[in-house]
Amino acid sequence: MTSSSDDLRRDIAALLPRLRRFGIALAGSVEQGDDIVQAAIERVLVKSDQWQLGTSLESWTFKIMQNLWRDELRRRRTDERKQALNSAATDDMVDGSNVAESMLMLNKTRACFTQLPEDQRLALALVVLDGQSYRDAAHQLDIPIGTLMSRLSRGRDALRRMMEDEKTPPMVTVYK
C-alpha cells in the first residue's frame, strides 16, 4: 500500500459528508445513498490509476455515483422504483428520541424532494446542497448552464408547490 493510496483515502474521507449528501439526493434515502457512496468509493480506490491528475476527485466520484445510480435504475422496474422512492419518506435518518415539529417538516421536505424528477433533483443537489457554481454543476451534468438554471427553477418551484400542498401524503416518521 503506497502513501498516495493513503492520501487518496484521506481525500475521500474529507469528501465523505458531501458524497453522502449527494447519495441521499440521488437515491432518496440514507441507506440506499450510502450503498451508492460505498460502491463509488470502492470503484475509485480500485481504479485510482485511471484518475487523471488535474481533474477534480469530487467531480470524478460524483460522476461515478451518477453512473452507478443509473445502472441501478435500469435494473429496476418502474413500479419498484416508485416503491423505493416512496419508502424513502419513512426511512429513519435521525437518531435520538426528541420528536420535534421541525423534524417532521424536514422529513416532509425530504419526501417531496425525492418525488422530483431526477434531472431537477440533481441540479438542486449540486447547486443548493453541495454549493457548486452553475458552471461546475452544468459541467458535472454535461448540460448547458441555461438548462441547469431551468431545472433549478422548475425544481424549486415544484418543491415549493408540493410543500404548500396540504394534500401531500402524510409522512410517517420512524424514530429509534
Partner 1 sequence: MIEIDEQTLMAFADGELDAAAAAEVRHALEHDAALQARLEKLNEADGQLRAAIAPGSDIPSRFAQLLKPAAPAFKLRHAWIPASAALAAALAIWVTSAVLTTPTAWIQQTDQGLAIAGPLADAAAKTPSGTTFEAGKLRIQPVVSFTADSGRPCRDLSLRDGERTARVIACREAQSGHWIVEAMASVPASDPGAYRTAGAPRNAIIGAALTSLGAVAPMDARQETDAIARNWAAK
- Smallest gap from Cβ 9 to partner 1, in A, equals 5
CA distance 56 to 164: 38
Q: Tell me which of 56, 67, 80, 100 binds partner 1, using CB under 8 A.
A: 100
The SS3 assignment for 80 reads helix
- Closest to 19 (Cα-Cα) out of 53, 65, 67, 54: 65
Greatest CA span in the chain, whole angstroms? 56
- Smallest gap from Cβ 77 to partner 1, in A, equals 26
Q: Tell me which of 73, 85, 143, 149 binds partner 1, using CB under 8 A.
A: 149
**Nearer Cβ to partner 1, position 68 or 127?**
127
Distance of CA 140 to the CA centre of its chain: 13
Q: Tell me which of 49, 79, 95, 101 binds partner 1, using CB under 8 A.
A: 95
- Tell me the Cα Rg of the chain: 17
Residues 48/12, Cβ–Cβ less than 8 Å: no
CA distance 28 to 119: 14
> Is there binding between residue 36 and partner 1 (CB under 8 A)?
no
Give the footprint of partner 1 on this chain (CB under 8 A). Answer: 1, 3, 5-6, 9-10, 12-14, 16-17, 20-21, 23-25, 30, 33-34, 37-38, 41-42, 45, 93-96, 98, 100, 102-103, 105-107, 109-110, 113, 124-125, 127-129, 133-134, 149, 152-153, 156-157, 159-160, 163
